[in-house]
Amino acid sequence: MPNSDLYVTWAQYHRLIERLAVQVHESGWRFDAIVCLARGGLRVGDVLSRLFALPLGVLFTSSYREGGGTEQSSLQIADAISSASPLPGPRWLLVDDMVDSGATFAQVLPVLKARYPHVSEIRSAVLWGKGHSVITPDFVVEELPHNPWIHQPFERYDTVRFDDLKLGWADR
């Protein structure tokens, strides 16, 4: 069933991140830092940074701004990576939650290489790879050839109101 929706629980989401970590670890590839694409890659990058004990940088990007976050528009890329100190080494792992059309990775990779010439190798890692993507990440936990819309567990906070939280909405 093409384009059906995929609903992901917190437990499933965390298990996917753990599977990604194992996949990267078992590849034997060694890297010096992790760069996550915010917002979707924040949780993935945080967990990988902790597991691999490597510094984390955050590059803010935005393309799903229209239609309540469901329609892709032109990609905005922050001017710099946010991190406590400059990221070390010539090898970086670029992480995000998914590769949908592939447009974000296709535009971000050359920008990173141009801005950080000391980086000689960047590999990419995602939880989900969609079939219509023009980019194939180096590490993918789940291939989704039918391109479903993915409902991630944190998306519920896009519409919740503070009064709902006071009433215990998050516990439901």
CATH number, domain of 111, equals: 3.40.50.2020
Pair of tokens at residue 49: 């940074």
Among the listed residues 105, 112, 53, 50, the one whose alpha carbon sits nearest the alpha carbon of residue 81: 112
Q: Is the pLDDT of residue 2 over 90?
A: no
Q: Residue 46's domain spans which residues?
A: 5-171
Mean predicted confidence (pLDDT) in 81-86: 96
Mean predicted confidence (pLDDT) in 24-44: 97
Instruction: Determine whether 51 is exposed, middle or buried from the number of CB atoms within 10 Å of its CB (0-12, 13-18, 19+).
Output: middle
3-class DSSP assignment, residue 124: strand
Mean predicted confidence (pLDDT) in 58-67: 76
Among the listed residues 57, 116, 62, the one whose alpha carbon sits nearest the alpha carbon of residue 82: 57
Among the listed residues 47, 24, 61, 57, the one whose alpha carbon sits nearest the alpha carbon of residue 140: 24
Q: Distance (Å, rounded) from C-alpha 136 to C-alpha 154?
A: 25
**Alpha-carbon distances of 43 from 32, 71, 149, rounded to whole Å:** 19, 22, 19
Mean predicted confidence (pLDDT) in 128-133: 97
pLDDT of residue 167: 85
Torsion angle of C-alpha atoms 155, 21, 18, 61, degrees rounded to 10 = -10
Q: Distance (Å, rounded) from C-alpha 102 to C-alpha 69?
A: 17
What is the average pLDDT score of the chain?
A: 92
Number of structural domains, the chain?
Answer: 1
Q: Is the pLDDT of residue 73 over 70?
A: no
The pLDDT confidence band at residue 164, using thresholds 50, 70 and 90, is confident
Mind listing the pLDDT tens digit for each residue in 8-23?
999 999 999 999 999 9
pTM of the prediction? 0.89
3-class DSSP assignment, residue 31: coil
